[in-house]
Structure 1
Amino acid sequence: MKSVLLRNAIALGALALIPATTAALAEAEGNSYAALDEFMDVFQKVRSDYVEKVDDETLIKGAISGMLASLDPHSSFLDTNDFANLRTQTEGSYGGLGLSVTMEDSAVKVIAPTEDTPAFRAGIKAGDYITHLDGELIYGGTLDEAVQKMRGKPGTPIKLTIVRPGRDKPIEVTLVREIIDIKPVKWQVKDNIGVIKIISFSNQTGADVKSAINSINKSLGRRPVGYVLDLRSNPGGLLDEAVSVSDVFLERGEIVSQRGRQKGDIERYYAKSGDDTQGAPVIVLVDNGSASASEIVAGALQDQHRGLVMGERSFGKGSVQTLLPLSATTALRLTTARYYTPSGRSVQEGGIKPDIRVPQISDPDYKTRPKFRESDLRRHLINEIKANDPTLEEDAKEDPRFAMTTEELKKKGIDDFQLWYATQTIGRLATTPVPAAKTAGTKGAAKKVASR
């Protein structure tokens, strides 16, 4: 009786969603019923014949997760734990090691470590594979299971075994769990230049960038000669905060647009009047760990001719995820739109190409460690303009301007070459007028949408 009710409920739901107004729709409806019958047959067989008893909730949750996994890498079902974890991450405080990870071919792969966390201090890098936790192989498990194992009581140790492409032997590191209380924005002054590092796009990031600019001005007693906006290894976050950060540096014009399934389903976001930096030169630093909200900011400042983008090609996540609550404790994270820069570019797959490519030659592994991006993920959304651009291959090409060894850099006291190069460039830009933004637009308020 229970299974009959479940079958009827699913069928009624399908009937409500598929109006039978034409023969084609009626045929599609019939196909859906047949598929649902097949699903229920499998469901019943597993319940009755599987070697161990398994509860209905586990089977249904697995079916939902499998359905969403067939769409793209960023759509997922959030159970009670996942939903709570997402909320704490966007609020800027959670327990763990400070890693942003994904699942690739049943292996846990690092997207980026968060600065000033145990993972960052241990030298874990984007593209690393985590194979064992406390000596236990985690290959073949779920991403949720791996994340839960990495989290735990602050102060307790955990050993990670890491495989890094380009290295012959695995790396073993022991980390001590901490409460990860992320301060999304940090600032410093280097050679009369304001350096603003955005670690994540969580609540209040835009306001914190404004505060950082004011603090830089106060520390110098005047305005700096320019700003470096450091978005490296920033995996993204909230769309409205990306809009807010972009607005800090823009006087006017479009920041980003998002476009859904329907042709007319377009939402545009515009800058409000007032550039907090009063037109000072800006360099935006990005790398292959800069994703999503980071790419929105970099693309907006690049297209508006407001900032020079420097570093390495970004991750290439050009999709927007909307959080759809299903209950008080569960939700659906669903890809609902693609976003586009002011000039109409989609960064999906291809990412943001820097105006000046500057490799991180102070990283001893930069030559041997492969670059990991959205295009490497299974079932990633395909760019409407195929991302087979030959310039994607430029990442591996040597640039004779950057031929110094790590030893030579150390002698010069340079431990972060990209940042050093950016500050040197700002010094030259300070005497060059910044072109005004070419695009003007109507002011508008941003709608908060999760885009992690």
Structure 2
Amino acid sequence: MSNRKIYFPLAMSIAVAIGLLLGNKLSSNQSLTAAQINKNKLNKLIDFIDKEYVDNVNTDSIVDITVDKILENLDPHSVYINKKNIASINESMRGDFVGIGVNFYMYKDTLAVIKSVKNGPSEKAGIKAGDRILYAEKVQLYDKKIPSDSIISNLRGEEGSEVNLTIFRKTSGKKFKVKLTRDRIPLKSVDVALKVSKDVGYIKMNRFSETTYDEFHKALLSLKAQGIKSLILDVRGNGGGYLDMAEDIADDFLKDKELIVKTVNKKGTEDATYATSKGDFETGDLYILIDENSASASEILAGAIQDNDRGTIVGRRSFGKGLVQREMPLGDGSAVRLTVARYYTPSGRSIQKPYGDKADGYFNEFEKRFESGELYEADSIKVADSLKYKTKKGRIVYGGGGIIPDVFVPFEANHGEEATTMIMQSGLVDYFVFEQLDKNRLFFEKLDKEKLKKEIFNNSKYLNNFKNYVSQSGFLMNYKNENKILTYLYAEFVRQLFTEDDYYKIILQEDEMVKKVLSINKK
């Protein structure tokens, strides 16, 4: 993994960086001497502080600060990852972790199970939604403020290791113990794969991890077996991941020898990747959904499809990350992900946006796009005529800051509803629904989806309770579109009581980009 090219997810690219000089061959003995002097100067300073400074100082933290400062002078995606954070980051990129397999919520200082992972250790041991986990072995997990990382560490462990849990089941009022064996729990990068119409399939990917292509390919073959003729691939909010995963997915769509991506390193060495003849969806209608949080590997995929005129890019301008990172371990459990190349789409464009502003503004320019109007009007997207390129069929595309979609879909049709949509897609709704279910879970478990829908839509208490919940949480919402809010609430009730697929079947009916694709696809 250390030599693997990475388009690192933006959420993980915010913090830290490296403090060693990588083994670049220097051009002269004079340069080598200068570099050695500077390295010795830094080492001596740390030694002086460690041995002579009047107060005790954690020199490890000084080194971390130092390497952060060094990398601040590079690009925003060259990052240092300390020993504390590297395990969780690697789990996300690997696509699994070892644990008991529960989604949980600290409700009133007690670890409450929202849902057990399907076929995971907890489900096999009979742990159900609504159960409280009181103890892991003899470690108390309730009635005190325990940091989340401490809770997680008590539930995780070595693969095959056993853990005794003490459970309280609220629906029966009984307390009991279970022994389960920790196992590998998948971190899915494909959230869902289903049909949104008779002939149109839909796949949503949240990142590009080691397992993404296998997950995607399995989903694609399943949808093909169901008779789809068109495919929507949703990479909205997908901050990236491994380059080769994006290449493999693009290969399924492109014909033999079509260019997917080209990378160029410091020395000017080019590395081009071409499609092979193995593609499993080279001819059906293809739509890629992108937004302002689609980055790096998502943009490689979208750029390859757009420049080869293979499909239609739908949505809003993507993030604009055109840099390649490589992970390099530092020998003490920490690592650096250093930018080693730039990538170019098949038409030759770089979509890397300027990074003079390396602070929060670079990673979160939502406000800037909001103020410029580009979230609402395609004409407000600024393009540079000097960065004009042509697709395979001669269509004009632009470099310099993200992928501009072929079909623009505004952030919200009605201004003022943005905050409502963002809240309804947040974890706030998950927790509200859990608490509603927890009041009378046995009642809800007796309802089928149709009866559940009537319960939510025809009973004003759920909307009123939600308004109070949002207000108490410190948020402001626009409640003009009550039907939309109730639809999101109903969908979350369905997700917690039934399946993820059932949730998406409801939500996608309200999705403006999906509706736009279906309208195009009918023509």
How high is the TM-score relative to the length of structure 1? 0.58
Q: In structure 2, do the counterparts of structure 1 residues 246 and 14 end up closer, same or farther at CA, with 3 Å as the change threshold?
A: closer
- Count, aligned residues: 304
Q: Whose helix proportion is higher, 1 or 2? A: 2
Query: 1:163-198 CA distances to partner (integer Å, 9 max, x unpaired)?
Result: xxxxxxxxxxxxxxxx98432122110112101111
Contact 1:361-1:406 within 8 A present in 2 as well: no
**Which residue number in structure 1 is paired with residue 406 of structure 2?**
355
**What is aligned with 1:67?**
70
Aligned counterparts of 1:211 and 1:246: Cα–Cα separation in 2: 15
- Write the distance in 2 (CA, Å) between the matches of 1:280 and 1:270: 20
1:130 corresponding residue in structure 2: none
**Cα 1:408–1:344 shift into 2, 3 Å:** farther
Find the partner of 1:240 among 228, 240, 244: 244
Q: In the alignment, is residue 257 of structure 1 matched against residue 240 of structure 2?
A: no
Amino acid in the other structure paired with 2:96: S
1:46 Cα offset (Å): 4.1
Letter in 2 for 1:359: P
1:191 partner letter: S
Q: State the match for 1:190 in structure 2.
A: 196
- SS across alignment from 2:338: strand
Q: Secondary structure at the match of 2:402?
A: coil
In 2, are the aligned partners of 1:284 and 1:298 still within 8 Å (CA)?
yes
Q: Output the CA distance in 1 between the equivalents of 2:272 and 2:24.
A: 32
1:202 aligns with 2:209: yes
Closer, same or farther: CA 40–84 of 1 in aligned 2, 3 Å: closer
The question of whether the paired residues in 2 share the 8 Å contact of 1:225 and 1:426 is answered with no
Gaps of 5+ in 2: 1-20, 104-113, 116-145, 155-183, 354-400, 423-478, 488-505
- Mapped partners of 2:323, 2:352: distance in 1: 7
Alignment CA distance shift 1:184-1:225 (3 Å): same
Please tell me whether residue 324 in structure 1 is matched to residue 328 in structure 2.
Answer: yes
Residues 268-283 of structure 1 aligned to structure 2 (within 5 Å): 268-283=272-287
Indicate yes or no: 2:144 matched with 1:93: no
Query: Higher relative CO (CA 8 A, sep ≥ 6), structure 1 or 2?
Result: 1
Does structure 1 conserve the Cα–Cα contact (< 8 Å) formed by 2:322 and 2:342?
Answer: yes
The aligned runs of 1:23-102 (5 Å cut-off) are 26=30, 28=31, 31-32=34-35, 35-36=38-39, 39=42, 42-43=45-46, 46-47=49-50, 52-93=55-96
CA offset at residue 59 of structure 1? 2.7
Which residue in the other structure is 2:514 paired with? 419
Shift of 1:206: 1.7
- Aligned residues: CA RMSD: 3.8
Aligned residue identity for 1:203 = E
Identity of aligned residues (%): 31
Given that 1:282 and 1:426 are in contact with CA atoms closer than 8 Å, whether structure 2 keeps it comes out as no
Note if contact 2:411-2:418 (Cα within 8 Å) is conserved in structure 1: no
What aligned pairs does 1:150-189 form with structure 2 within 5 A after superposition? 151-153=149-151, 181-185=186-190, 186-189=192-195
Letter in 1 for 2:310: R
Q: State the SS of the aligned residue for 1:153.
A: helix
Work out whether residues 79 and 331 of structure 1, in 8 Å CA contact, stay in contact via their aligned partners in 2: yes
Contact 1:312–1:353 (CA<8 Å) still a contact in 2?
Answer: yes
Answer with 265-274 or 179-188: which moved more. Answer: 179-188
Q: Is the 8 A contact 2:95 2:211 kept in 1?
A: no
Q: Deviations over 1:375-428 (max 9, x none)?
A: xxxxxxxxxxxxxxxxxxxxxxxxxxxxxx984994999521112112221222
Aligned counterpart for 2:28 among listed residues 20, 26, 32: 20
Larger radius of gyration: 2
TM-aligned CA distance change 1:359 to 1:50, over 3 Å: farther
User: Structure 1 residues 19 and 274, CA, compared in 2 at 3 Å: closer, same or farther?
Assistant: closer
Listed one character per residue, the Cα deviations across residues 328-366 of structure 1 (whole Å, up to 9, x for unaligned) are 733221110111111111110101111111123269767
Residue 232 of structure 1 deviates from its aligned partner by 0.3
